[in-house]
Structure 1
Amino acid sequence: MKKCAFLLLSGAALSLASFTAPAYAGDRYGQRPPVVLSPDLSAPWVMQLGGQAAPRGGVVYRTKPRTKRALVAQPRTHRAEPRRVTNVALAAPRIKPKQASQLDPKFLPQTVSYDGNQKPGTIIIDTNQRFLYYVMGNGQARRYGVGVGKEGFGWSGTEKISRKAEWPGWTPPAEMIKRVREKEGRILPVHMKGGPENPLGARALYLGSTLYRIHGTNQPWTIGRAVSSGCIRMRNEDVTDLYERAKVGAKVIVM
């Protein structure tokens, strides 16, 4: 009986194995589903390859590949595109004035009353008030603001206009060249051609045989001050107007 029972159990086991074995083999060796790789390089499968997680959209760098077949990610290089700027207006550079260029309105040209006894065409210069008057007649005069000689260089007297010049050249006296070099450390030119940078400005009216002149200036902010070496300074536009009015031989009174 025992032998028969053992045979029955063995047969049952063999029958069960015969039914289950084909199904197990089919599952093991059948067609596998496709492998879908995540676009995110920080997914777990990358970690299994020994890489390091990177931010989304970043790059994984492998310094020591474990096998010859290991994938090595190439670093991405991002070249900055040069910034293109269009339709930009190029502004002219600003020139900073050496000193304040505003002029007191009282030194601007204007017609004033004149009750003196000088005949028309005469020029009267009041160095204290820093005004030049051109007598026009009919009880009127044209008044301009001027710069005059600084302390120690003022003078007074009567002269005549000996000649006139447009955009005159400047030849500073040897005495002036020496004085400026010793006191200010500046080297004045022996001669300077006429032009906008010339200290004599746009026009000059020479006074007799002296070294003094009524002239323009390249420093209009000095009008109304005692700054010159004895000459009478005017704005370029003002001395140009006076140049057209005054005649050679006209009397000039400096007081």
Structure 2
Amino acid sequence: MTPKNPVSRRTFLTTSAALGAAGLAAPALAQSIDPYTGQALQATGATGATPDAGMVQYDTTQDSRRNISSFRMQDWQPYFTNLTNGAILVDLTSRALHFWSEDQSVYKLYPTSVPVSPDLTRTGRTEIIKKVKGPTWSPTPEMKKRNPEWPDFVPAGPDNPLGTRALWLSWQYYRIHGTHDTRKIGRKSSNGCIGMYNEHVEQLYELTKIGTQVLVI
């Protein structure tokens, strides 16, 4: 017997995914309420910076599935002269992070979030200077100026915007870190830091060391 109003497979899957996402409430999944203001999260245009803490703002005209240079494997040689201490390449265009171990036995490719605007973006060479499990978070002076209602300090835990691990770079205020808000990954959604799924940054944390080379392009 054929139903009177058949539903296409695409429509069914799209609807099911939307309903399923709305019903999930695990801490690692996207939150619907800003933990600091108590307000519902709102997607906004690209004007203004997106905080790494709490509210997710992003350019709604961007389709994060269509990365310009594609999400693909890379060789390290065009970017580094050697792999001393291992090397990380952050590709802001494809929104991907590549890691190579010093002995070339390990190569990893991870999706990331990237800065929301050019004025918050820094490129070039740096290195890991500190590694933290269960990081705490404090807004930078510029963040606090733009958002005076934000807290001065957020302890480690499920609401912390740096997720479960953070890698400090030699550039002040710049980090590679996890996030509990998985909607940020694949988007222009940070104040300058590079965000990763918590399970991925935990892997990267174990693979890297103080002095691991980092190139952001």
Q: With CA pairs under 8 Å and 6+ residues apart, which has the higher RCO, 1 or 2?
A: 2
Q: Choose the corresponding residue for 1:205, options 167, 173, 192.
A: 167
Q: What residue number does 1:132 align with?
A: 97
1:85-234 alignment, distance < 5 Å: 95=25, 97-98=31-32, 112=73, 114=75, 116-117=77-78, 118=80, 119-120=82-83, 121-136=86-101, 138=104, 141-151=107-117, 152-181=119-148, 187-234=149-196
CA distance, structure 1, for counterparts of residue 183 and residue 138 of structure 2: 23
CA distance, structure 2, for counterparts of residue 115 and residue 201 of structure 1: 28
Segments of structure 2 that go 5 or more residues without pairing to the other structure are 1-22, 33-40, 42-63
CA distance, structure 2, for counterparts of residue 202 and residue 139 of structure 1: 26
SS at match of 1:234: strand
Aligned sequence identity (%):
34
CA distance, structure 1, for counterparts of residue 110 and residue 157 of structure 2: 22
CA distance, structure 2, for counterparts of residue 133 and residue 94 of structure 1: 30
Task: State whether residues 115 and 139 of structure 1, in contact with CA within 8 Å, keep that contact through their aligned partners in structure 2.
Answer: no
TM-score using structure 2 length:
0.62
SS at match of 2:179: coil
Displacement after TM superposition at 1:180 (Å): 2.3
CA distance, structure 2, for counterparts of residue 173 and residue 167 of structure 1: 19
Gap change, CA 1:164 and 1:142, over 3 Å in 2: same
Displacement after TM superposition at 1:171 (Å): 1.2
1:155-211 Cα offsets, whole Å, 9 max, x none, are: 102111111000100011222112124xxxxx2111111111100000000001511
Task: State whether residues 31 and 181 of structure 2, in contact with CA within 8 Å, keep that contact through their aligned partners in structure 1.
Answer: no
Gap change, CA 1:111 and 1:238, over 3 Å in 2: farther
Task: Tell me how large the CA RMSD over aligned residues is.
Answer: 2.9
Q: Which amino acid aligns with 1:205?
A: L
Structure with the largest fraction of helix: 1
Gap change, CA 1:116 and 1:153, over 3 Å in 2: same
TM-score using structure 1 length:
0.54
Q: What residue number does 2:214 align with?
A: 252
